[in-house]
């Protein structure tokens, strides 16, 4: 099984589409001729992002995570735009596997997580920035249920589980 596409609900299709094309760098691909506003973007050969304009409610913590090529450039650009949202999951961090993590809001209010490969070069100034914090996000809930391990990673070598 694999993810085919993710659909994000937006309030203004053109505004959101411009963000994903010009700020995130995704390439638009043809969408089916639906009778409502929608736009499709290529993420990889096998995954797409779909934007669809409806009057729905946006999730506060639910998010789509995109692994980006130049995390540092995006961090500085989205910080300047005021898009980094530390309210749901805390500040920008380096996860235990080495991957960077930042959360931003798209123009419709959808939460996006941006991450880097664990060994990707990162601008060291980010680690001194006011929006950066060391260590995993601590919610204060003190509830450790779940499938957790010290060697967790976002990046599994091909063929492993």
Residues that bind Fe ion (CB under 5 A): 65, 113
Find the shortest distance in angstroms from Cβ 43 to Fe ion: 16
Residue among 28 and 118 whose Cβ is closer to Fe ion = 118
Find the shortest distance in angstroms from Cβ 64 to Fe ion: 9
**In 67-152, alpha helices (H):** 71-80
Decide: residue 92, CB within 10 A, 0-12 exposed, 13-18 middle, 19+ buried: buried
Residue among 52 and 115 whose Cβ is closer to Fe ion = 115
Residue among 70 and 113 whose Cβ is closer to Fe ion = 113
Residue among 63 and 79 whose Cβ is closer to Fe ion = 63
H or E element: which one contains 158?
none
Find the shortest distance in angstroms from Cβ 140 to Fe ion: 19
Long-range CB contacts (< 8 A, 24+ apart) of 126-129? 126/72, 126/75, 126/76, 126/92, 126/100, 127/94, 129/75, 129/79, 129/92
**Alpha carbon 83 to chain centroid, angstroms:** 12
Residue among 29 and 136 whose Cβ is closer to Fe ion = 136
Find the shortest distance in angstroms from Cβ 34 to Fe ion: 29
Find the shortest distance in angstroms from Cβ 102 to Fe ion: 11
Q: Say if CB 122 and CB 75 are below 8 A apart.
A: no
């Amino acid at each position: 099984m694999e993810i085919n596409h993710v659909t994000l609900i937006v309030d203004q299709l053109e505004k959101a589409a411009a963000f994903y094309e010009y700020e995130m760098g995704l390439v638009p691909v043809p969408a089916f001729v639906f009778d409502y506003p929608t736009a499709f973007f290529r993420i990889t050969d096998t995954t797409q992002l779909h934007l669809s304009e409806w009057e729905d409610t946006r999730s506060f913590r639910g998010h789509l995570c995109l692994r980006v090529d130049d995390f540092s450039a995006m961090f500085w650009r989205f910080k300047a735009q005021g898009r980094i949202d530390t309210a749901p999951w805390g500040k920008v961090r380096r996860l235990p596997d080495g991957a960077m993590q930042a959360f931003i809001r798209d123009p419709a209010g959808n939460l996006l997580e941006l991450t880097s490969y664990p060994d990707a070069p990162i601008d060291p100034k980010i680690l001194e920035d006011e929006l950066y914090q060391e260590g995993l996000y601590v919610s204060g809930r003190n509830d450790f249920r779940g499938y957790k391990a010290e060697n967790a990673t976002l990046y599994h070598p091909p063929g492993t589980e």
